[in-house]
Amino acid sequence: MRIALDEARTAAEAGETPVGAVVLDPASGEVLARAGNHPIGAHDPTAHAEIAAMRIAAEKLGNYRLTDLTLVVTLEPCAMCAGAISHARIGRVVFGAEDPKGGAVVHGPRFFEQPTCHWRPQVTGGVLADESAELLRGFFRARRKK
């Protein structure tokens, strides 16, 4: 999660919403990919940290299936990212702060609990949640003052 937080800080420095993600292989401990949010800079509404990290990992492995890998992200994934996580067959998702407004794992549609969801990863939430949430709060507080 510390690596994901570093990616979130880098995103914030670029003016992007501070969310960071890491894909790792729990068997080896290897970090396969790391990314931060960048939809503004990339002019791409799908350039969320989770999507970017999964794309990098898939390219590195030469396979879109990321079975048995772990995705660590600083914020509860949205519906788009939850769908991509399911399609990639990620084995485990670890997230920091909950997102009552835009989250889709423990809030909103609870994507992985739907009968139409074809792959359900293990989910662990609340890891370094306060630090993740404060990074987001501070970012938006500073933007409102401008």
Q: Which parts are annotated binding residues for Zn(2+)?
A: 48, 78, 81
Token pair, residue 138, equals 């501070």
30 in catalytic set: no
DSSP codes of every residue in 4-37: HHHHHHHHHHTTS---EEEEE-TTT--EEEEEE-
3-class SS at 138? helix
Of these residues, 50, 76, 98, 131, which one is catalytic?
50
Q: Where are the beta strands (DSSP E) in the chain?
A: 20-24, 31-36, 70-75, 92-97, 122-124
Token pair, residue 23, equals 């894909």
- β-strands 20-24, 31-36 pairing: antiparallel
Tell me which residues are annotated as active site: 50
